Chain A
């Protein structure tokens, strides 16, 4: 009987803000340990949380971008557990009524690994909640001690819960990639996984069609989108094998080991814990307004107007892609690649502006030639030794038929060295000019024919 894998995701995105969710200490990556810790972050007795407006706006923007209903009244709760990186012994989160619910995210996949066929899928967003990040603890087993750094304790997080509408690693990866792009476009999170700004936990289970969902495991410790796909696919396989061998799946938390490429049971950190949720008594309900409900005499500094935020949302990736396709006549899958690479879309548009070559032709140079060079040398678009100006210059030469496309590729290779030469200079240096003179061409052809008499006779005879 076939197996149906079911994949849901819990994504924690660190909010891009100057200060933390409930205190004024700074948010900064890789600062000296315990240098960004306020009295509240250290849980000094008597300190109280004060909600950061920017964090709320970030969550509202994200909720709107994900087609959620924004709850005009949401609540804060305490989630209790003891751990070295949680100074208060509880995390402030939104368990009862989160800030946004019932949204959706559309993402696209290539079918069969060909870039030519893309299919659009949707995953439901269950909710988005605001919550505190924890500090970091580093276990030093040799000295039997744990080192605690509270810089990250209290940083604002948006937890985005994606319903189990996905079926495999590829879908999950594509969904997360799209979410990442959306967050970066909004500016609500920088969402760089390597810096811990985007953390993804996967919930995986398998079942036979028509039967109830199977027991699910939670997979953590995934550090990149690539590993996300790998971890999920491994876990699906593991569960299927386990069940086919008559075993059972435990409702447990497993860590992805990127070196071995497999998931392993985690030390029971949370297990079957009872978090003893309780309303956070020091924070009144969070009330948001829209144009209709906004009281007339309210100081606009004191409130958040959902409609005002909605009006100012930037073009989301899906809209940007559509515009690129419409404006430049490129294929949808091209627009995906353009947006997937930071700065590439801008580079493309810049080249198009500076050349007579049709965008449909330019795109090939961007996606095949330029991008492969960048990938080969692990460079970002920003770091490209070939600027849009230089590339446009080169493409103009090609367009005016002053060089062949083969020659153009040679020139590009030379430009890549970044020695400061212009395309024209390289063409002259390497004598790559296309001959335009008809008479000269005839002379060359005649010379070749004259030089290969035997071959010519053979050809004429058939």
Chain B
């Protein structure tokens, strides 16, 4: 039962009471990782160190001195976070074999609280992508591809065709982390979110994906994509767990000058019963072209849910939404071009054998080390930063960014507490279909609903809502005011309770933990 429970309410209690031991939990997760290998969710599994951490945790429980709720809890970390002694690759040839000498602040915080680091999860190379399909270790497979729910609904095109060609993507770029949480190989995972990279795969994998307010959680040790938009993301199986993780990670870090100075007080989420004082905003521009009728209907249904429960539901406008993709691409590629400049083969990472000159070594190293998605963004970014283009593109985009952020300020000032929007345009696409279009096209399409929150630095969360006609998860997104995570998560938790999203039915998990499926109806536990 423990594999399935909420951290605070179930797992932590079970550990404290000795009903399950940290080493047991760890071993179960490691075994499950092995048997779900075909998902390709993990790049590195740190078996030895994880077991050691689990043993140390067990010792602490024995002495009655656990460090907190996270003590002994197996977690996974996206492979763009630095982990001392454990390879950090960013799914790129540039950093294959790179062993960082330091832990990212968020990783250190988790370890300091006794969490067990199972391994590093797969992603799009350097977090560039919306499918987790463009890393050098291959694509991540959505666990729901192998779920009873999906298999029941999919009609095989021919007898000989097996599920191999039918599998769907996780979304991205934190697909490995989302798949890991979704397939029960860990209790929580860290992702990153720059344009939706935590929320998008959360929606496709049926898990909770939280993007915190920019400046709340330290980015020290997170290998940057866009410094002014990146945040560490939290992926869990329920909203309560996201609150627990947030509590252990948020707060000022002197090593990150963009974190706010204010003290952060971890909170427990109240069980909201009365939503009549809430005002939910429905931004009309999020009825974006390409939004599936299914998701549109679900969004509508959710709005009605709030209305019926007594909340005020209003249509609002974020007029500059349609400029956000283009704006994002200018600012993102410019920062990428800058951030990737350090990968020159000299100090660390891949170095080409080309020895003719320093310049030729740089060129060969970067050609060999980066995939064409990364190289494409570097070239675009450098173009936008050229002296003659800077005003036209970069400065203009910064101004548009300000307009987008102001849209949200105006709406929140008008009395709206939370915005409700879809997270993705549709459910997860089959891999074979997804790769028909290139990364850039896909990113432009898939980011539309999520990246305005990154532009404005606002907190946002995906809550799994229902299964699509194809039996795949669909989630809805809540966007809150800056640093009002407590309110955001409280509303998200209420919603989660209302919708009772079904648990994934996976053969592999069933085999490992026969009593897991006692409660087949929901993933929310009171």
**A residues bordering B, Cβ < 8 Å?**
39, 42-51, 78, 80, 82, 84, 87-90, 144, 146, 148, 274, 276-278, 281-284
- 26 CB contacts below 8 A, A to B, read A42-B347, A45-B82, A45-B88, A45-B223, A45-B342, A45-B343, A46-B81, A46-B100, A46-B221, A48-B220, A48-B255, A48-B258, A80-B338, A80-B385, A87-B344, A276-B337, A276-B382, A276-B387, A277-B387, A277-B390, A278-B385, A278-B394, A281-B258, A281-B335, A282-B257, A283-B257
A146 to B346, CA, bound (A): 11
In this assembly, does B358 line the interface, its C-beta being within 8 Å of a C-beta of chain A?
yes
Q: A88-B342, A284-B257 are in contact. Are A46 and B347 (CB under 8 A)?
A: no
Contact indicator B338/A84 (Cβ below 8 Å)? no
Q: A80-B338, A277-B385 are in contact. Are A46 and B222 (CB under 8 A)?
A: yes
A283 to B95, CA, bound (A): 26
A86 to B259, CA, bound (A): 27
| B349 (CB) vs chain A CBs: closest residue | A45
List of A residues within 8 angstroms of B254 by Cβ: 50
List of B residues within 8 angstroms of A278 by Cβ: 334-335, 338, 385, 394
List of A residues within 8 angstroms of B264 by Cβ: none
Distance of A392 from chain B, by nearest CB (Å): 54
In this assembly, does B359 line the interface, its C-beta being within 8 Å of a C-beta of chain A?
yes
Contact indicator A148/B346 (Cβ below 8 Å)? yes
| A43 (CB) vs chain B CBs: closest residue | B342
Contact indicator B227/A281 (Cβ below 8 Å)? yes
**B residues bordering A, Cβ < 8 Å?**
81-82, 88, 90, 95, 100-102, 104, 219-224, 226-228, 254-258, 334-335, 337-338, 340-344, 346-348, 355, 358-359, 362, 382, 385-387, 390, 394
Q: A50-B257, A276-B385, A281-B227 are in contact. Are A84 and B358 (CB under 8 A)?
A: yes
List of B residues within 8 angstroms of A276 by Cβ: 337-338, 382, 385-387, 390
A48 to B218, CA, bound (A): 10
- Which among A49, A89, A146 has the greatest number of chain B C-beta atoms within 10 A? A89
| B363 (CB) vs chain A CBs: closest residue | A82
A45 to B95, CA, bound (A): 10
A282 to B224, CA, bound (A): 10
Distance of A60 from chain B, by nearest CB (Å): 19
| A42 (CB) vs chain B CBs: closest residue | B347
B224's partner among A46, A84, A90, A148 (CB-CB below 8 A) is A46
B220's partner among A42, A46, A274 (CB-CB below 8 A) is A46
List of A residues within 8 angstroms of B340 by Cβ: 89
| B90 (CB) vs chain A CBs: closest residue | A45
Contact indicator B256/A48 (Cβ below 8 Å)? yes
Contact indicator A89/B257 (Cβ below 8 Å)? no
List of A residues within 8 angstroms of B355 by Cβ: 144
B348's partner among A44, A89, A283 (CB-CB below 8 A) is A44
List of A residues within 8 angstroms of B342 by Cβ: 43, 45, 87-89
Contact indicator B224/A87 (Cβ below 8 Å)? no
Contact indicator A47/B220 (Cβ below 8 Å)? yes
| A148 (CB) vs chain B CBs: closest residue | B346
List of B residues within 8 angstroms of A283 by Cβ: 257
Q: A42-B347, A90-B338, A276-B385 are in contact. Are A48 and B359 (CB under 8 A)?
A: no
Distance of B258 from chain A, by nearest CB (Å): 6
Distance of B45 from chain A, by nearest CB (Å): 21
Contact indicator B82/A89 (Cβ below 8 Å)? no
List of A residues within 8 angstroms of B100 by Cβ: 44-46
Q: A46-B104, A46-B222, A148-B346 are in contact. Are A89 and B258 (CB under 8 A)?
A: no
List of B residues within 8 angstroms of A47 by Cβ: 220-221
A148 to B343, CA, bound (A): 16
A88 to B340, CA, bound (A): 8
A80 to B383, CA, bound (A): 13
A43 to B349, CA, bound (A): 12
Q: A48-B219, A89-B341, A284-B258 are in contact. Are A82 and B386 (CB under 8 A)?
A: no
Contact indicator A82/B341 (Cβ below 8 Å)? yes
| A275 (CB) vs chain B CBs: closest residue | B387
List of A residues within 8 angstroms of B220 by Cβ: 46-48
A45 to B104, CA, bound (A): 10
Contact indicator B227/A282 (Cβ below 8 Å)? yes
B386's partner among A90, A274, A282 (CB-CB below 8 A) is A274
Contact indicator A39/B102 (Cβ below 8 Å)? yes
Q: A78-B338, A80-B338 are in contact. Are A46 and B82 (CB under 8 A)?
A: yes
Distance of B6 from chain A, by nearest CB (Å): 31
Contact indicator B228/A281 (Cβ below 8 Å)? yes
List of B residues within 8 angstroms of A45 by Cβ: 82, 88, 90, 95, 100, 223-224, 342-343, 348
A87 to B220, CA, bound (A): 18
Contact indicator B222/A84 (Cβ below 8 Å)? no
Distance of A78 from chain B, by nearest CB (Å): 6
Distance of A83 from chain B, by nearest CB (Å): 8
Contact indicator B385/A146 (Cβ below 8 Å)? no
List of A residues within 8 angstroms of B337 by Cβ: 276
Contact indicator A49/B257 (Cβ below 8 Å)? yes
Contact indicator A88/B257 (Cβ below 8 Å)? no
Contact indicator B341/A39 (Cβ below 8 Å)? no
List of B residues within 8 angstroms of A43 by Cβ: 342, 347
List of B residues within 8 angstroms of A50 by Cβ: 254-255, 257
Give 4 A-B pairs besides A39-B102, A48-B220, A148-B346 with Cβ atoms closer than 8 angstroms. A45-B90, A87-B342, A144-B355, A278-B335
A282's partner among B88, B101, B258, B341 (CB-CB below 8 A) is B258
List of A residues within 8 angstroms of B341 by Cβ: 80, 82, 88-90
Contact indicator A82/B338 (Cβ below 8 Å)? no
A50 to B219, CA, bound (A): 13
| A45 (CB) vs chain B CBs: closest residue | B223
Distance of B40 from chain A, by nearest CB (Å): 23
Q: A46-B104, A78-B338, A274-B386 are in contact. Are A89 and B219 (CB under 8 A)?
A: no
List of A residues within 8 angstroms of B256 by Cβ: 48, 282
Contact indicator B385/A44 (Cβ below 8 Å)? no
A81 to B65, CA, bound (A): 53
List of B residues within 8 angstroms of A146 by Cβ: 358
Distance of B389 from chain A, by nearest CB (Å): 9
Contact indicator B258/A44 (Cβ below 8 Å)? no
Ranked 7 nearest A-B pairs via Cβ = A89-B341, A276-B385, A281-B227, A281-B228, A43-B342, A45-B223, A46-B221
Distance of A260 from chain B, by nearest CB (Å): 28
Distance of A91 from chain B, by nearest CB (Å): 11
